[in-house]
Amino acid sequence: MRRFVDLHTHTTASDGCLAPEELIAAADRKKLAAVAVTDHDTIDALARARAAAEGYADLVFVPGIEVSAKSATGTLHILGLGIDEGAPGLVELAGQLRQARDERNPKIVAKLQALGADIDMDDVRAVAAADPSFGRSRIISRVHMAEALRRKGCVRTAKEAFQRYIGDGCPAFVDKERLVPADVIATLREAGGLAALAHPVELEYGNRLQLERILRDLIRAGLNGIEVYHSNHSPAQTRLYLDLARGHDLTVVGGSDFHGPAKPDARLGIPRVPLAAITGEFAERFLRP
Ligand code: AMP
Ligand code: MN
Ligand code: MN
Ligand code: MN
């Protein structure tokens, strides 16, 4: 019996390094009971991941997405897990998210140029399209811009690109969020999914009370899950989020946020997320077939 799951991973449809088929194979090698594919703002990897998962009898595939929405302090991420990727509202949402990126990316590049960086959109597209599995339809994120800056010799590492130029609040940063969490949550739930707050540690909350206030607003908007386990959570944070999940009747979920070598600290299947920790309707429908 497999006992652990990973419900937060990225593929080459967004800023991950493994193609959907490679990710599914890697999840099976890790002996995971279930893996969710949750690319940023796109559902393009899901059909391929599902088809690949059919080849592994002991691995459950969960179709997902990680959507960026506006928060009081910038951005928050909402995971949709167990979504029907054919749902019209979700398809429309993905289109809106792609358009927001298409409009934002040249603005970041223009800021970089104004700061003296020798880089254009073709350099960024070349990085994203270097992986042939999605080619030009790949979601372009700041990870690709960081790599383009590195290849052009503007920075020595992608990390430096975030620190100096494109990290949140840095001189070339441009945000892209237009959707409020309530609309994202509604769309994910209409698509049959669980809507879970991703990595609460990234919310700029001062203390537990402030986090609870944010959480209550999201719950009022329909949030029904929380990512308790995540590669960036300390044991104390994990305990806090577990406590909040219980107190607010939220489904517990968790995963690594695996991207491949682009984010070496997030390893597939780590932290270990017990299948048994995930309860309720979502677990019954998607994790215990
Ligand atoms: P975007 O969705 O285009 O705003 O890009 C966000 C992605 O960039 C995140 O999903 C991370 O993979 C990555 N990222 C954001 N901030 C940093 C940072 N400070 N260092 C490294 N990667 C980052
Ligand atoms: Mn990412
Ligand atoms: Mn995220
Ligand atoms: Mn993620």
Contact 20, 45 (CB under 8 A): yes
Q: Is the pLDDT of residue 289 over 80?
A: no
Query: Tell me, what's the pLDDT at 166?
Result: 98
**Hey, is 38 helix, strand or coil?**
coil
Query: How many A from CA of 259 to the centre of ligand 2?
Result: 7
Contact 64, 198 (CB under 8 A): no
Structure tokens at 234: 């300390």
Quick one: which of 143, 109, 148 has its CA closest to 15? 143
Query: How many A from CA of 1 to the centre of ligand 2?
Result: 31
Residue 141, ligand 1, Cβ within 6 A: yes
Give me the chain's average pLDDT, please.
96
pLDDT digits (tens, 9 = 90+) for 96-118: 999 999 999 999 999 999 999 99
Ligand 1: nearest atom to the Cα of 168: 16
Query: Tell me, what's the pLDDT at 263?
Result: 86
Query: Tell me, what's the pLDDT at 18?
Result: 97
pLDDT digits (tens, 9 = 90+) for 243-258: 999 999 999 999 999 9
pLDDT digits (tens, 9 = 90+) for 2-39: 999 999 999 999 999 999 999 999 999 999 999 999 99
Alpha-carbon distance 129 to 111, whole Å? 22
Query: Tell me, what's the pLDDT at 73?
Result: 81
Q: Is the pLDDT of residue 283 over 80?
A: yes
Query: How many A from CA of 118 to the centre of ligand 2?
Result: 24
Residue of minimum CA distance from atom 15 in ligand 1: 167
Q: Scanning the structure block, which residue is given the tokens 């270990």?
A: 272
- Amino acid identity, position 209: L
Torsion of CA 176, 178, 179, 180, to 10 degrees: 110
